Amino acid sequence: MTPAHFTFSSAFILGLTGLAFHRTHLLSALLCLEGMMLSLFIALSLWTLQLDATAFSPSPMLLLAFSACEASAGLALLVATARTHGTDRLQSLNLLQC
């Protein structure tokens, strides 16, 4: 395992554990998701550069576009939750109630 591969794998695992264990606020969950997407983007970009294949070159940009859409949807949910409930704490949200 190369040091770059180990670094991006550990960054992804660190974001995943942060998402799994520190779920008190919606903003912290969104930040963990963004960290995971950033590590995937950099790993996919380096993989594309190492292969020297032009067929895989749009893949990192497509991942970045999906990540931006995910971030905007997450921030819209954060604003809507903060307006309706007054907080972004996940324990105060009842997901079964409309």
Residue 93, both tokens: 């949200």
Indicate the pTM of the whole model.
0.83
Q: Backbone dihedral region of 97: left (phi > 0), alpha (psi from -120 to 50 degrees) or beta?
A: beta
Q: Residue 78 half-sphere exposure, CB side, CA atoms within 13 Å?
A: 13
List, in order of start, the domains of the chain with CATH numbers: 24-87 (1.10.287.3510)
- Confirm if 69 and 34 have CB atoms less than 8 A apart: no
Percentage, residues of the chain above pLDDT 70: 94
- Confirm if 41 and 66 have CB atoms less than 8 A apart: no
> Residue 95: what pLDDT?
64
Length of the chain: 98
> Residue 4: what pLDDT?
84
Mean pLDDT of 19-27: 86
Structure confidence by residue, pLDDT tens digits, 40-82: 999 988 888 888 877 888 888 999 999 999 999 999 999 998 8
| Mean per-residue pLDDT over the chain, rounded | 87
Query: Could you give the dihedral angle defined by the CA atoms of residues 88, 90, 96 and 98, in that order, rounded to the nearest 10 degrees?
Result: 0
